[in-house]
Structure 1
Amino acid sequence: MKKIALFLFIVFSNLSFAQASLNDYEMALIPSKFDFQKEDNQFRINSTIKAFLKQKGFEVYLSNDVLPEGFTDYNCNKVFVNVVEENSMFLTKLKVEFKDCHNVVLFTTDVAESKIKELGQAYNQALLTTLKSFDKAKYKFSGKTYYDQEAQEKLKGREVENVSEEVTKVIKSEKEVKYEKVEKAPKPENNQPFVKVINKITNEAMVLYKTTRSAIYLCDLNEKSGVVFAKNEVWFFEYLENDKLVSEKLDIKF
């Protein structure tokens, strides 16, 4: 486990162990209903925040959206958005919080208020005002990756016998390993996203574990822990061997 973490640190050198920052996150999740709302997206508050954050560069979803595959497999690679209501008798007050998976607040907008009596108008006025202070965050995605943490979570208790989505055969050449898809395989009962690659000559199995990125898989083979990924439509298996990075070119056709 330490080996794969070290490997991924080398491959994705922009990984940082510094104090968490809003800039370290590209994905955001907004609840479809906040505590003060009586129904989903009441007064269009949730969808307004979603549209706002998309303009700021986030990949953002409401909790009741159709979420992309793997989005909820690992939570610590995204921020969680919450709207806090601080109403008084004659004022509607709101602020927006951005938290990490450990409930640590990364950024909070200024509290904004509205004196409008009609509740829907008051919420929207306060929301638009508080969102203006988001510029204080000076948000710019740092490019940080979370593949090492995700790897440790997904490789815990893994079962090589669980195969999902596709079985492939391997034809080995002198310089490359070639993969060709041959058939679909039933999904395992626990629905874990594994892809098992079989070497037809040696019957050796290479098991690929999906990540939240479609072109990146985690891999464990003969005590070699690394990643299989595509670069300019060419696939590679990279791993550490004697503390040195080894890169093997693969011809994969999924």
Structure 2
Amino acid sequence: MSVVRILFLCISVFSSISFYGKKNVNDYKYVIVPERYGFLKKNDEYQLNSLSKFLFNKYGFQAFIQGEELPEDLINNGCLGLRAEVKKNSGLFVTKFIVELKDCNGTVVFSSSEGASREKDYKKAYHEALRDAFKDVKALNYKYTPKTQNIKEEDHNDVTTKKEVSKPVVSMPKHPETNATPIAQKDGLPKKAIEEKTVSYIFNDNVFIFKKEAYGYELLQNNGDTQVSIGKLFKSNSGNSYIVKAGDLSGNGYFDNYQNFVLERINPVTNKLITDIFARQ
């Protein structure tokens, strides 16, 4: 390996770590490889997707091609996995690939330097360029390190259930003659939360901020000292539910009686309906 290559590789890895802050590939247990990359005409053309899976597994990851049988924890919590993508930046006589890994919110966690090949045969060129780009993946020395407070989607359900069991129930006196009713909720959110402009929630060990807007809420993710907008919650006509537009977190949601936000969405890994609980802080 040339001195220039080594220097560029070090800069690339350092830049990835610096730019993405607390995002680290070691926080993720799996890698999901698509059946077909965008620049290909059919699934696993030139065996490029199969080679990607092989190389990820070779360098310590647990990789699956989308559509394969998946582990139970990944089925229940798609955010345990990173989505692999290969970008093609080919020139006139050179095939160039960049390998990217994105989290379940679509945020790029890792991006390799360009892998290149001057082979004329497509399959040989694609394989050589991909293997060249994977040198940066190898340099990561990946080892899965679960977060100590990592809460899976099923764990959120358990926590919510426990809250429901332990929370004292206060019976409201009925007064038919005055038609008295409990304090009403506005916009689907309990009165206490309405008074606040922003509300914090925990989901998959990440902090999310719901910022009140005229259309509903802006969804922000807390990344250390900064807050990044990742989507919006649009209030439905009924006022009790919301249409969520936030990448892989898109779906329909509502606030429960304990001020948690319950999101129903399609798991991007399994294409099945799942329920997420954003726990109120």
Per the normalisation by structure 2, the TM-score is 0.45
Larger helix percent: 2
| Higher share of residues assigned strand | 1
